[in-house]
A and B are shown apart, each in its own frame.
Chain A
Amino acid sequence: MSHTTMDEFATRALPDAADVAAAPAPGYWKSVGQRLSRDPVTIAVTLVLIGILFITLGAPLVSGGDPYTGNVLARLKPIGTPGHWLGTDETGRDLWTRLCYGGRLSLLAAMLPVTISLLVGGFLGILAGYAGGLVGTLIMRTMDVFYAFPSILLAIAICGMLGNGLTNSILALAVVFIPPMVRVSETVTTQARHLDFVEAARASGTTTLQIIRYHVLANVLGPIMVYATSLISVSIILSAGLSFLGLGVTPPRAEWGLMLNSLRQAIYVQPYVAALPGLMIFITSMCFNLMSDGVRGAMDVRLNK
């Protein structure tokens, strides 16, 4: 399929076909992959994220310690202490071990709300965008109500209402992220719905579900996923913020936001150690942000091709 024989040149009837004799270019996603593989920033941040995922998921192997047992005699040791290369926290627990384990909850509490909002918000948004009319207006105006509150206040309010705990903070963040998710999905779907190929599909007498499945979703999921990825970075900060405020994960469990809170009293004694959970939050959030930027850029091919 990829080479052109002389026969094909000879049998081709039309002159206007002659200019595209080269091998067929790869498919859309393949070309996105190619562009991504040439983007050093995206590769770097993806590697960092894989590293973070590795140390959190493989926490028992990587750290070798127990995040909950501390030595009261070895409290607040500085970075570089033998046996505790990132120091210890205020109850003498190894900070490296706690950072590794803490990432599990931090990432879970950040990604799960985004996933939930992606499913719920994406569904509602595509429905609103494709159906339009009364259904669309109803969904979008309901979402507008949530926009009246700043996201962090809304999250705090919901958490305060439901009580603290991991599940409730995940739920609260999901509720916060659904409206923007709906809005983005609605916008891209509305744009896609008015393109001629969707009209052509309607004109071919296929059902609405078939049109959505084959024509709308394929052109809409990309931008929605990119947006969801960029939400993860916000979500990491918000969920850590909730824990920091004592509304999310409860002690003694390890979680970056909570660790930041409990270490903040030690900021004059061991400022570098106290800053480490914050640094992890910062790095992870930034990497997700840069990654989504990279993917967005790589997916935007039609205009500059």
Chain B
Amino acid sequence: MSASVALDRRDRGGPAQPLLHVDHLTKYFPIRGGLLNRTIATVQAVDDVSFSVRKGETLGIVGESGCGKSTTARLLMRLVEPDAGSIVFDGDQVGSPGGISVNEMRRQMQMVFQDSYSSLNPRMTMAESIAYAPRMHGLAHKEAYDRAESLLAQVGLNPRQYARRYPHELSGGQRQRVNIARALALEPRLVILDEAVAALDKSVEAQVLNLLAELKEKFNLTYLFISHDLNVVEYMSDRVMVMYLGRVVETGPVEDIYRHPRHPYTRALFASKPTLDPDRRTTEMPLTGDPPNPINPPSGCRFRTRCAFAEAVCAEKAPALAAPLDGDFDEALPHLVACHLPEAQRATRGPHA
């Protein structure tokens, strides 16, 4: 965890300074149509999202599909330009004078995509794919390929066997290992894992998760772990952030969130998690229906249309992230929840259950 991190030579603010600090990140995708290609609607993919990632920790981001997890990742990598908000990487504002440039940030922050196949160039061998970025950044040919081979070995693929293979000759798990190696080729400090294990078989998934944990130790990495799989997030993360329809609804240490989820949505999410243990049979109402359309999200609290506790205040104004209303607030590892209603935060089951 954060305390055990050895100081990186690129470290600037010391261990107390968050590696990544995101403030009011917002992205509305315009939907164009009509004769003049005017904007006829906007999808509020990410709306006013703020969070920070500490050095050496793993922050898990969970939520249903379409809640803005992946858009957040793409915004962080600047694959998509944000409409508003700031990204501060180790104290340096990204893309503003006096801070660091987007390209500098990208060398320290890398991403592993969900689709292991389409994220590898079909015309490049594994070694070429891994060596590509270091070579383009000026590393000599020989050194870049040496690094590629060493990384292949680090992710558990024998370089003599795999360096010259093409993506279609590898299994999904092997390809994802290569993708991880490729992300590590620039020696990043933060790795965004966007559903990186979602497409893998359960047995392979476990191996890749263990590999990720091992690499994190070895290279002093910080992870942003995006997944819809609650078990995987619990296993990997130190802290968790729950997103719903482009907003953060709850964030806090993983044990806290998993043991005492405060937000009705978080509880509903956990209720939908299947369990085979009869003693842990769920009593919470599972979520029904689809999330509302992000083109026209509900006013106020976005969850209110599916929330059993919703009251008039929920439609009037959007709740801000704040300490839970029933007290215990830990300054160092805050548990924050975006909900107006104390009874909704306290309840273990719905009022009409």
Contact = CB atoms under 8 A, between A and B. Distances in A.
Contacts of A302: 122, 168
Nearest to A202: B79
Contacts of B162: 17
A153 interface: no
Contact of A16 (B115, B165, B171): B171
Interface string A181-218: 00000000000000111011111111100100011001
Nearest to B76: A203
A20 interface: yes
A197 B123 CA distance: 11
Contact of A195 (B104, B118, B158): B118
Interface string B169-212: 11101100001001001100000000000000001100100000
A16 B121 CA distance: 22
A8 B174 contact: no
Interface stretch (A22-30, A45-53, A169-177): A22-30
A19 B136 CA distance: 33
A203 B158 contact: no
B171 A200 contact: no
Interface in B83-114: 102-104, 106-107, 110-111, 113
Interface of A: 1, 4, 8, 11-17, 19-21, 24-25, 27-28, 195-197, 199-207, 210, 214-215, 218-219, 301-302, 305
A184 B169 CA distance: 29
A210 B132 CA distance: 10
Contact of A203 (B106, B118, B123, B161): B106
Contacts of A197: 118-121, 129
A74 B128 CA distance: 67
B136 A210 contact: yes
B123 A218 contact: yes
A206 B133 contact: yes
- List the 7 closest A-B pairs by CB distance, nearest first: A196-B119, A205-B106, A204-B133, A206-B136, A205-B103, A218-B123, A196-B118
Contacts of A1: 160, 164
B221 to A, nearest CB: 16
A82 to B, nearest CB: 57
A207 B122 CA distance: 20
Contacts of A204: 106-107, 110, 132-133, 136, 185-186
B204 A12 contact: no
Contact of A8 (B118, B124, B158, B204): B158
Given A4-B161, A204-B136, A302-B122, A199 B79 contact: yes
